[in-house]
Amino acid sequence: MLLRDVEPGDVDAYVRMRCDPAMMGDLGGPLPREGMEAKVQRDVQGAAAGTDWIKMIVPDKAEPTAVAGTVTLWSHDNDAERISEIGWMVLPEFQGRGLGKQGVRTLLDLARDDGRWGLIHAFPATTNAPSNGICRSLGFRSLGEQDVTFAGRVLRTNHWTIDPRMDLR
């Protein structure tokens, strides 16, 4: 497994992840197909600028265009506070093989070495057993349940945080 920056050719993977009812079941339902090219373009620019880390999970380095999923780390305003947040998705045919956990672990290793991200937050839906399992097993601390607005929808989530310099297992 390796992580590489998002590229313009990743539109199909974005559509399969973000416009699919099963993939988006815990995230409020599928997003509209139109707008995915623009979303990839924004993400490519954000990744190139280094402001956001938007990585594709590649199971086999010999085939870098074959993507299993994505792991993203970005900063945003949350109420009055600026926070770092990590999120992830793995396509159905690649789920249950440890790729999600390995991808998150790899990005947290990079964040620890980079040093700029501070405390990192994650907000998986309370109903998403594998995502909460990833947080628990990598050393995130649970801060309890929280409602979070994502793409205009209110989701019930578990709020987890990790300091990758101290907590990463």
Ligand X SMILES: CC(C)(COP(=O)(O)OP(=O)(O)OC[C@H]1O[C@@H](n2cnc3c(N)ncnc32)[C@H](O)[C@@H]1OP(=O)(O)O)[C@@H](O)C(=O)NCCC(=O)NCCS
Residues in touch with ligand X (CB under 6 A): 23, 26-27, 69, 87-90, 95-101, 124, 128-131, 133-134, 137
Of the two residues 22 and 80, which places its CB atom closer to ligand X in the complex? 22
Question: Residue 127 has what DSSP assignment?
Answer: T
- Cβ at position 93, least distance to ligand X in Å: 10
Of the two residues 50 and 135, which places its CB atom closer to ligand X in the complex? 135
**Tokens linked to 77:** 């305003």
Phi, psi (rounded to 5 degrees) for 18:
-100, -15
Tell me the residue nearest to ligand X as measured from the CB.
100
- Cβ at position 32, least distance to ligand X in Å: 17
Interatomic CA distance for residues 88 and 29, integer angstroms = 16
Cβ–Cβ under 8 Å, residues 88 and 104: yes
Of the two residues 29 and 130, which places its CB atom closer to ligand X in the complex? 130
Of the two residues 64 and 130, which places its CB atom closer to ligand X in the complex? 130
- Cβ at position 68, least distance to ligand X in Å: 8
Which is it for strands 81-90 and 120-122: parallel, antiparallel or unpaired?
parallel
* DSSP three-state, residue 2: strand
